[in-house]
């Protein structure tokens, strides 16, 4: 226990609790939607939402079907190692990270974990968002993409703020 008692300790854990909770909620949401898609979009059914269709497909590869000929154990091993590295970095960095960076890391990690868990079941990732002009994707893919963009923007903003502080007399 540190000076300040248990409340001080809780304050130090808050960013990590936020990280775990955010990842857990987003993973559960993604896996729930994938389960719905597998159940309600089976037999080549689709739902037209205008710009996008809900259409069930399965991706044995990684991003955009790349590596679909690779053994699933290899894809799982490599992605598992990458996720472990990202989780370790996020865990260590979460205490000191500005909130936008922490949120972005949690969202990327959630997408990676959700797709990993989905793939672990049968060697394929469940995709259900289809545009016709872009490979079919899923919620976890959106998490990874938007989280990476947010992370990049947050890092640029932090770098710009640091340079601004250094140029002040």
What are 88's two structure tokens? Answer: 């370790």
Q: Among the options 30, 40, 122, 141, which is catalytic?
A: 141
Q: Residue 132 sits in which domain range?
A: 14-41+48-159
Helix (H) or strand (E) holding 155: helix 139-166
- Tell me whether residue 141 is one of the annotated catalytic residues: yes
pLDDT per residue as tens digits for the range 138-149: 999 999 999 999
Report the C-alpha gap between 105 and 22 in whole angstroms: 10
| pLDDT score of 167 | 75
| Count of other CB atoms within 10 angstroms of residue 150 | 17
| pLDDT score of 148 | 96
6 inside domain = no
83 inside domain = yes
31 pLDDT above the threshold of 90: yes
- Residue pointed to by tokens 């497909």: 57
35 inside domain = yes
63: left (phi over 0), alpha (psi -120 to 50) or beta: beta
8 inside domain = no
Beta bridge pairs of residue 53: 48, 130
Helix (H) or strand (E) holding 53: strand 53-59
- Tell me whether residue 127 is one of the annotated catalytic residues: yes
Count of domains observed in the chain: 1
167 inside domain = no
130 neighbors 57 (Cβ within 8 angstroms): yes
Q: Mean pLDDT throughout 49-72?
A: 85
pLDDT band at 100; cut points 50, 70, 90: confident
140 inside domain = yes
């Amino acid at each position: 226990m540190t000076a300040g008692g248990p409340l001080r300790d809780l304050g130090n854990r808050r960013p990590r609790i936020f990280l775990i909770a955010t990842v857990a909620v987003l993973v559960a949401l993604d896996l729930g939607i994938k389960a719905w898609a597998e159940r309600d979009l089976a037999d080549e059914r689709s739902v037209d939402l205008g710009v996008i269709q809900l259409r069930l497909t399965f991706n044995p590869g990684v991003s955009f079907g790349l590596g679909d000929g690779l053994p699933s154990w290899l894809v799982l091993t490599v992605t598992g190692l990458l996720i472990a590295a990202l989780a370790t970095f996020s865990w260590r960095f979460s205490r000191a990270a500005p909130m936008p960076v922490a949120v972005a890391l949690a969202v990327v990690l959630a997408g990676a974990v959700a797709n990993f868990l989905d793939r672990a079941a049968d060697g394929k990732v469940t995709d259900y968002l289809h545009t016709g002009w872009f490979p079919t994707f899923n919620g976890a893919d959106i998490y990874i993409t938007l989280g990476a963009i947010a992370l990049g923007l947050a890092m640029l903003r932090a770098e710009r703020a640091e340079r601004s502080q250094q140029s002040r007399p």
